[in-house]
Amino acid sequence: MLDGPTDIPGGRRPGRPGDGGRAEGASKSAGTPRSMLPAMELNGTAAIVTGAASGLGEATARDLAAAGCRVVVADLSEQQGKAVAEAIGGLFVRTDVSDEQSVQEAVDAAASAGPPLRVAVSCAGILFAARTVGRDGSPHPLAPYQKVIDVNLIGTFNLMRIAAAAIARTEPADSDGQRGVIINISSIAGMEGQVGQTAYSASKAGIIGMTVPAARDLASIGVRVNAICPGIIETPIYGSGPGREDFLAKLVAPIVFPKRMGTPAEVARFVRAVVENDYLNAEVFRFDAGIRLQPR
């Protein structure tokens, strides 16, 4: 039975270089000013990242691995996922985030990877565009709407709930009683979707809407929940068709500064900053160089 942040066994994690070998559970109390204490330690922990075969997920998996995490690369794409896992010394688990059994198996792999599972990042996502009533007068098809909700929203909820249940079984990592962090990738389209984005925007707004109640739900097990809303980031999600450059130029035009697409590495660095800062919780962060999406 887990009682929450006040029930804290101490001293579970070995110290890290520079902290005088201080044990983890006792590390954030004994007289050291908080401003001088280390952030959430990632070295020697496990993490799971969905959508990690490509784009933001891949960059995030690489960054977490560089910080010392054993990362489970959870993705539908077997070939790319295996290559990423191999490159970072992680583990690929073929995962369909919309299928709860599949997510359970990926989380089980992360939870039994050796080090304690501390981080779950939902990056798996798909795009779809259609007007609510098409130019030909026909209503938005329902099947793709349901598919986008299944992958982007239910997939994110699947990882959050199943990973949090696994994280709850670990010992607290520090004297706050913190056990782990969930990061859900939403989108600025969840706030200001463009023409044709009812399905995508609804799925991403759902992620935003879950943030505060999930953080409240998971506080008792010492798990923080934050959502990140990227703007326009250069990844394969925009496809490779002939109209790609024109399409992207239109998207980039309203960016305030720097006037370019963001990079997956910049997103990954921000994910890590949010993970590592113990005081960030229940927040929705725009990550967009000041853009406000235009109607089209």
* Alpha-carbon dihedral sign for residues 213, 49, 19, 283: negative
Q: How far from the centroid of its chain's Cα atoms is residue 58's Cα?
A: 11
Q: Does the annotation count 200 as an active-site position?
A: yes
- As a whole number of angstroms, the distance between CA 132 and CA 140 comes to 5
**Which member of 232, 289, 291, 293 binds ligand NAD (CB under 6 A)?**
232
Burial group, residue 276, by CB count within 10 angstroms (0-12, 13-18, 19+): middle
> Which neighbouring-strand residues pair with 72?
48, 91
* Amino acid at site 216: R
Query: According to the binding rule CB under 6 A, does residue 95 interact with ligand NAD?
Result: yes
Per-residue x/- track, 11-40, ligand NAD (CB under 6 A): ------------------------------
- Cβ closer to ligand NAD: 73 or 181? 73
Tell me the C-alpha distance between 169 and 50, whole Å. 21
Binding test (CB under 6 A) with ligand NAD, winner from 170, 178, 187, 211: 187
CB of 73 to ligand NAD, least distance (A): 9
| 236 lines the binding site for ligand NAD (CB under 6 A) | yes
- 132-171 binders of ligand NAD (CB under 6 A): 151-152, 155
Residue with tokens 């782990």: 180
Among the listed residues 235, 149, 130, the one whose alpha carbon sits nearest the alpha carbon of residue 190: 149
Nearer to ligand NAD, 37 or 248 (CB): 248
Interface contacts to ligand NAD, rule CB under 6 A: 50-51, 53-57, 75-77, 95-98, 123-126, 151-152, 155, 185, 187, 230, 232-233, 235-237
